Amino acid sequence: MSQSLEKTLESTIARQSLRVIHLDSTESTNTLAKELVLTGEKGELLIVADSQTLGRGRSGKSFFSPSGRGLYMTQVLRPEFASADFTLITAAVSVAVSRAIEKVAGVTPSIKWVNDIFLGGKKLGGILCESVFSGGGKLSAVIVGIGINLTGNDFPPELESIATSLGGKADRNTLCAEIAKELFSLSDSLYSKTPNKDFLNYYRSHSCVLGNDITYTRNGQSFSAVALSILDGGELKVRNSDGSIQILSGGEISLRL
């Protein structure tokens, strides 16, 4: 692990139990984190890679992860009083990432339900949350994968029109530490006997979806709808083109701009 990243984390996070792994390259920080948890890793864990060869997004999609271009990190949280409510968990992570970007880079991103971070109408980064359960079916770990494009806009042809970066406005180590700090703060309040969902106010106010036309797929069928509101569980309430109301708790949506 680079001394710079270590010092930045130590000065930002008062978390003595956090184990940090910094790699030049790995297939996927999420895959490695899950392997470590399943083979006996017990505490809180942060994995940071300079590049990923098989970066993963939601629904089996790949995540563009070249060396020196982005922040690729996975943080393992250990909830004590939580269920696997991943719509709400992903919403909380989106808020943590957005707040950190605002503080470090001085720009205000928007959030595309449920797991994408946008800037200037293009995708800046993504989030992938996964769960690990103990033998008794209790949620033992939440694996939070985050990828943010930090520099450059020369993306592969299939991403050119839809992806963007921070344009070098954020130091990777500083942003990593700030995201980790925000994640611990939000998870400590969300995973408590009396969960605090105040972060949903930020999530709603920074949404780039609400009030806009979207398309979504359910049971193999595509629907056109308008995004109406984000509920207290993180679900998206929409009105279909036929006037019917639908509550979405997961899956992908597309904005129709």
DSSP 199-235: HHHHHHHTBSSTTSEEEEEETTEEEEEEEEEE-TTS-
Strands (E), 110-179: 110-112, 116-119, 122-133, 139-149
pLDDT at 204 exceeding the cut of 50: yes
pLDDT of 42-67, one tens digit each?
Answer: 888 999 999 998 777 665 577 788 88
Contact indicator for 206, 110 with CB cutoff of 8 Å: yes
- R_g over Cα of the chain: 18
Cα 171 to chain centroid distance, Å, stands at 19
Predicted TM-score (pTM) above 0.85:
yes
Structural domains of the chain, ranges and CATH numbers in brackets: 3-205 (3.30.930.10), 213-255 (2.30.30.100)
- Locate tokens 């890793």: which residue? 41
pLDDT at 58: 62
Rounded average pLDDT over 78-106: 86
| SS3 state at 12 | helix
pLDDT at 217 exceeding the cut of 60: yes
pLDDT at 3: 52
pLDDT at 1: 43
Q: Which segment of 66-70, 85-89, 117-121, 135-139 scores lowest on mean pLDDT?
A: 135-139
pLDDT of 30-45, one tens digit each?
Answer: 999 999 999 999 888 9
Separation of alpha carbons 122 and 128, rounded Å: 18
Average pLDDT, the chain: 89
Percent over 90 (pLDDT), the chain: 61
